[in-house]
Amino acid sequence: MLRDSLRALVFDVFGTCVDWRGSVIRAGQSVRPEGVDWSSLADEWRREGYIRGIARIRAGEMPYVGSDVLFRRKLDELIPKYGVNGLSETEVDDLAHAWSRLDPWPDTVAGLQRLKSRYIISPLSNGSFATLTAMAKRGGMPWDCIISTELRQTFKPEREAYLLAANLLELRPDRVMLVAAHDSDLKGAQAAGLHTALVPRPAEWGPNAPPLPPADPSFDYVATDFGDLATQLGIPA
């Protein structure tokens, strides 16, 4: 069975393991409780600063920089656009680091602990090594190691980003499974020879987000949360 041949599970983080949107909104509200549309700012920060920034680097439109740089550059644009006036440099810097203080989904930590009882577990994320480490420490995510695509100066869904996990763990790609909430990420992992598990996060983009599409039948597992994935993999509660 597949579950017996797997040796490592690697995880997308932003959206899959943590509630980035709610966390960033709360961080913003702690700085400026009123008068700022933090929901829209968070969405644009993620979509245009992070996702679009990575796409531009992959397309050769700009040189490689890490995700922390992308987040900070975009925040500097968003602060005047959304009227977040009067912040000190220290406050701006602290807000930029909100991405290292993202709260796990309710099932994340307990689910990871169950999965760790049988498999090596690690993030495989476009987040920086420092951000992933700080986030895990704060949120209690019990990783065996930290794998950031920053280590190869690349980004998912490049093939080399997925093979980075297998190479660092000295495993064949088919002994590794990516767990993610995003089809494009899982399709990239499949193309690199990894197995795949979809854990949809319908609340990732907030209560007004459109419904998620049906799960692609090519994924090896589809689970409602990390606890359900552990159960499907035969790990007792």
For residue range 24-36, list pLDDT tens digits in order.
999 999 999 999 9
Distance, in Å, from the CA atom of 155 to the CA atom of 64, rounded to the nearest integer, reads: 10
For residues 157 and 194, the answer to whether their CB atoms sit within 8 Å is no
d(CA 200, CA 41): 23
What type of residue sits at position 208?
Answer: N
Instruction: State the number of CA atoms in the 13 A half-sphere of 75 facing the CB.
Output: 20
> In a 3-state reduction of DSSP, which class is residue 29?
helix
Instruction: Of 193, 157, 191, give the one whose Cα is nearest residue 173.
Output: 193
Task: Give the model's confidence band at 2: pLDDT under 50 very low, under 70 low, under 90 confident, else very high.
Answer: very high
Domain endpoint, select from 58, 81, 100:
100
DSSP letter for each residue of 92-128 = HHHHHGGGGSPEEPTTHHHHHHHHHTTSEEEEEESS-
What is the predicted pLDDT for the residue at 85?
Answer: 87
- Amino acid, res. 32: R
Give the list of residues 6+ apart from residue 210 with CB closer than 8 angstroms, or none.
Answer: none
- Threshold 0.95, pTM exceeds: yes
Tokens found for residue 156: 């998912």
d(CA 18, CA 179): 13
105-137 pLDDT tens trace: 999 999 999 999 999 999 999 999 999 999 999
Distance CA 181, CA 11 (A): 9
**Same domain for 136 and 57?**
no
Residue 182 lies in a domain: yes
237 assigned to some structural domain: no
CATH of residue 227: 3.40.50.1000
Instruction: Please tell me the predicted confidence (pLDDT) of residue 57.
Output: 98
Mean pLDDT in residue range 157-177: 98
Residue from 116, 143, 107 nearest 235 by CA: 116
Q: What is the mean pLDDT of residues 139-159?
A: 98
The residue-averaged pLDDT of 197-209 equals 97
Q: Do residues 120 and 171 share a domain? A: yes
- 176: closest CA among 188, 160, 193? 193
**Cα separation of 179 and 9, whole Å?**
7
Per-residue pLDDT tens over the stretch 68-97? 999 999 999 999 999 998 999 999 999 999
Burial environment of residue 105 by CB neighbours within 10 A (0 to 12, 13 to 18, 19 or more): buried
Provide the CATH number for the domain around residue 82: 1.10.150.240
For residue 233, which of 139, 116, 152 has the smallest C-alpha distance?
A: 116
pLDDT digits (tens, 9 = 90+) for 145-154: 999 999 999 9
The parent domain of residue 113 ranges over 2-17+105-232
| Residue 10 shares a structural domain with residue 26 | no
For residues 175 and 192, state if they share a domain.
yes
Q: Which of 25, 27, 178, 181 is nearest to 97 (CA)?
A: 27
Q: What angle do CA 22, 181, 206 make, to 5 degrees?
A: 30
pLDDT at 218 over 90: yes
